[in-house]
Structure 1
C-alpha cells in the first residue's frame, strides 16, 4: 500500500493522553502491522500535542519497549486550523487514511477517509486504563477491509 499514507492520532488512540502517556494494549504489534501494510515512510502522527512533547512521549514509549525503535522519528504533521485537514498529509486526500477517536476534528468533506476508534479511557479521569482493550486489533481488521 505504498500509495497510501496512514495518519494516526495520538491521545485516546495510541496512548491515554499526553499527561499519563499510558500505551494502549497491543500498540507495539499494531504499529508493526501498520509498517508491514503501509511502509514506515507512509505512517505519520496527526495530533494536537505539540511536536516537542510528542517526541518526548515517543522516546519514552520506545525506551519502555512499548513501540518500535523507529517510532520517535515518525513523520509529524503540523495541525493548523480548527479541523485536521488531510491535505497537510498529502495533496490528494484519497491517498490518506486517518485513525482518530474524535470525528468532529476531521473536516466534514474528508470524513470518508476516517476510520474511527473508541477513545482509550477518558483522558482526564483518574481511572486506570482498560487492560482488556482490543480496539487496535479491531481497527486493524477494519483498516485491512478498507484498503482491499
Structure 2
C-alpha cells in the first residue's frame, strides 16, 4: 500500500485492538467497515509487538476470511522493539496510534494516542469500539 506523506498516518495496534490476540485471531466486530472508512482519510500501518512473520500470516488469514479489505495484506508493519511504541518509529509528525494499552505510550506522547477498549473475552459480537474510535479519528484528523 503506497503511503501519501500529505495525509495523517494512523498506526493500528493489532492485539486487543483489531483482533482478539495473535493466537485466536478473532476479528473485532466492524473491522472491515472501520478499515474501509479510515483508509479514506489516513495512511495506515500496523504498529505491534507481534513479530512481522506472524503479522503477515494474520493479515493473510483475515483477508482470506473476508474480515478485512484485500489491501490489508499490503499494509506496512512496524514492530516495537520494547514495551513502548515511540511516535518517532512512525516516521511522521502527523501520526496517531490506535491502541488498547496506555502502558505502551511514551511519557509526553499521550497526544498521539487514540485509546480503544481492549477486545477481550467474552468476545462480544455487538462490540462497537471501532465505530466509536472512527468518530474520534474523524474529530482528531479533520
* TM bucket normalised to smaller: over 0.9
Consecutive unaligned residues of structure 1, counting only runs of 5 or more, are: none
CA contact (8 A) 2:7 2:41 kept: no
More displaced, 135-144 or 73-82? 73-82
Aligned to 1:136: 130
RMSD, aligned α-carbons: 1.4
Aligned to 1:37: 41
Q: Size of the alignment, in residue pairs?
A: 138
- Distance in structure 2 (CA, Å) of the matches to 1:81 and 1:11: 16
Compute the displacement of 1:147 (Å).
1.7
SS in structure 2 of the partner of residue 98 of structure 1: strand
Consecutive unaligned residues of structure 2, counting only runs of 5 or more, are: none
| Inter-CA distance 61–91: structure 2 relative to 1 (3 Å threshold) | closer
Aligned to 1:78: 79
**Matching of residue 9 in structure 1 with residue 13 in structure 2:** yes
- Distance in structure 2 (CA, Å) of the matches to 1:91 and 1:4: 8
| Inter-CA distance 91–135: structure 2 relative to 1 (3 Å threshold) | closer
CA contact (8 A) 2:20 2:120 kept: yes
CA contact (8 A) 1:78 1:88 kept: no
Compute the displacement of 1:106 (Å).
1.0
Among candidates 21, 26, 29, match of residue 22 of structure 1: 26
- Distance in structure 1 (CA, Å) of the matches to 2:83 and 2:127: 30
Q: Which runs of 4+ in 1 moved over 3 A?
A: none
- Distance in structure 2 (CA, Å) of the matches to 1:135 and 1:80: 27
SS in structure 2 of the partner of residue 138 of structure 1: helix
**Matching of residue 119 in structure 1 with residue 118 in structure 2:** yes
SS in structure 2 of the partner of residue 10 of structure 1: coil
- Distance in structure 2 (CA, Å) of the matches to 1:82 and 1:137: 27
